[in-house]
Amino acid sequence: MKTSKDKKALEILKILKQLYPDATCSLTYNSPVQLLVATILSAQCTDERVNKVTPELFAKFPDAESFANADREVLETLIRSTGFYRNKAKNIQGACRKIVEDFNGNVPQTMEELLLLPGVARKTANVVLAHAFNINAGVTVDTHVKRLSQRLGLTKAIDPVKIEKDLMALLPQKDWENFSIRIIYHGRQICKARKPNCQECQLAFLCPFNG
Query: What element of type H or E holds 145?
Result: helix 143-151
Long-range Cβ contacts of 21-27 (<8 Å, 24+ apart) = 23/181, 23/182, 23/184, 23/185, 24/131, 24/181, 25/127, 25/130, 25/131, 25/181, 26/51, 27/51, 27/54, 27/127
Asked if 142 is an active-site residue, the reply is yes
Going by C-alpha positions, the residue among 145, 141, 153, 144 that lies closest to residue 210 is: 153
Asked if 123 is an active-site residue, the reply is yes
What is the distance between the alpha carbons of residues 184 and 206, in angstroms, rounded to a whole number?
17
What is the distance between the alpha carbons of residues 198 and 190, in angstroms, rounded to a whole number?
8
Across the chain, how many H-helices and E-strands are there?
Answer: 11, 0
Q: Who contacts 151 (Cβ-Cβ below 8 Å, separation ≥6)?
A: 191, 196, 207, 208, 209
The residue from 6, 47, 63, 142 that is catalytic is: 142
The residue from 123, 146, 166, 175 that is catalytic is: 123
What is the distance between the alpha carbons of residues 143 and 175, in angstroms, rounded to a whole number?
19
**Residues annotated as part of the active site:** 123, 142
